Chains A and B, each alone.
Chain A
């Protein structure tokens, strides 16, 4: 089972600032998902990337999958208090009709109004 390290672990920023969260592993993923989790709720899927070098945008959020499919980043532009939450990357390993997803260590983001 691969270990997915996220950095930073904690991030507290002012509203309007930009930030980047990183997800790194020594192993290759077949896919990479990003989730956001709020207290008392389950993780909510934000995006899935499957191709090395792939970039996806979701409003102010930009997700990038590394060329070698070992790492990913999440960039938020002009953060808002509603972006506060726990951000989780999750790497999929396997193919041929089955994939096991392993979650990262998480980044707790606080956006201060």
Chain B
């Protein structure tokens, strides 16, 4: 079974630019999650999709962040415009049901300069 795939693995962009992160969950996993770890802090919840619907987006920092999940398959997280404090590692995870533990991707390390 293929795992959770995230792309790109690293991204360095300038402040004010736009970046789009992609996550391909495990096939058949209805639940998809985005988390973020900024330097020295714990992993923080951003949002949760069930299929193509947003179940919970209470962790999204502000309206510069937009997440979509097309047809309940892969998901994208767009940051526009990026700010310095957006730097960190963005993790995607998926699970079959809400009761199950998560399978994480390797993350996207975003650096905003």
Q: Determine whether the beta carbon of A33 is less than 8 Å from that of B56.
A: no
What residue of chain B has the Cβ atom nearest to residue A4's Cβ? B42
| A41 pairs with B106, CB closer than 8 A | yes
B91's closest neighbor in chain A, by CB?
A42
Interface size on A, residues (CB 8 A): 23
Give B47 Cβ to nearest chain A Cβ, in Å: 10
User: In the complex, what residues of A have CB within 8 A of residue B44's CB?
Assistant: 103
A43 to B102: give the CA distance in the assembly, Å.
9
Cβ-closest chain B residue relative to A42: B104
Look across to chain B and name the residue whose beta carbon is closest to the beta carbon of A48. B101
Most B CB contacts (10 A, CB to CB) among A41, A48, A100, A102 go to A100
Q: How many angstroms from the CA of A46 to the CA of B100 in the assembled complex?
A: 12
Q: Is the CB of B42 within 8 A of A106?
A: yes
A 97-113 to B, binary, CB cutoff 8 A, 1 in contact else 0: 11111111110000000
Shortest distance in angstroms between B10's beta carbon and chain A's nearest beta carbon?
10
Q: Which residues of the partner chain A approach B101 to less than 8 Å between Cβ atoms?
A: 33, 45, 48
Extra pairs beyond A48-B100, A88-B43, A100-B48 (15, CB < 8 Å): A4-B42, A40-B106, A41-B106, A42-B106, A43-B104, A48-B101, A98-B55, A99-B98, A100-B56, A101-B33, A101-B45, A102-B45, A103-B35, A103-B42, A103-B45
